[in-house]
Amino acid sequence: MDKNKKVPEVRFKGFKLAWKKTPLSEYMTVSNEKNVSNTYDKYDIYSVSREYGVVNQIEYQGKSFAGASLTGYGVVHTWDVVYTKSPLKLQPYGIIKTNKTQNGIVSALYGVFTPNCNVDANFVQTYFELDQRLNDYLRPLVNKGAKNTLLISDEDAIKGNVIFPQKDEQEKIVKMFNTLDTLIRKLEQKLEKLRNIKQSLLKQMFINVNRGGTHR
């Protein structure tokens, strides 16, 4: 990104407008919707993973960590953006991901944001995929409390500046990265199949080795 001209070094043809530097609040609005009617239960609770994004807590972690009452949990709709106020090793100020699955709920410790009409929700996640960009954005906004807790309101979490293109260019960028992600998943599946084949061959080829005691 040329910071003076606010245009990227690599760009799709046909786009000429400079990217706009503005607070993230121009693209997202804080959602204060809570699960007050208990519409959602423990099977609808989501966690946020650095690698997998917004995921069902039970499916991802094997169990629910919810308390007795879920009325204070925030409702997260499909394409809402979630900010996890929990430090990780490579993301010491939390992570920002887009909910690409069904509606559900998240802990009150999470910030939930509704994307405005001028942004592709997927682009928000793509923009913050790089740890350095994510950390640089959040660092000035977050205060750290006792035991490394992150002290930041939902409103403050979107006060930092981002540099976004127009929505049509956002969508083009998202499409490209989605294609790459799909290819990566397919290659990972092929790699896992090859590993399984190798393990199966190892077992079948050496199945009689060391059976019946030591051979002399």
Block means of pLDDT (10 residues each) for the chain, 216 residues, are 70 90 97 95 92 90 84 96 93 96 94 97 96 96 87 96 96 94 93 94 78 54
Q: What's the confidence (pLDDT) of residue 144? A: 87
User: How far is the C-alpha of 108 from the C-alpha of 44, rounded, in Å?
Assistant: 14
Q: How far apart are CA 51 and CA 17, in angstroms?
A: 32
So what's the pLDDT on residue 5? Answer: 62
pTM as predicted: 0.84
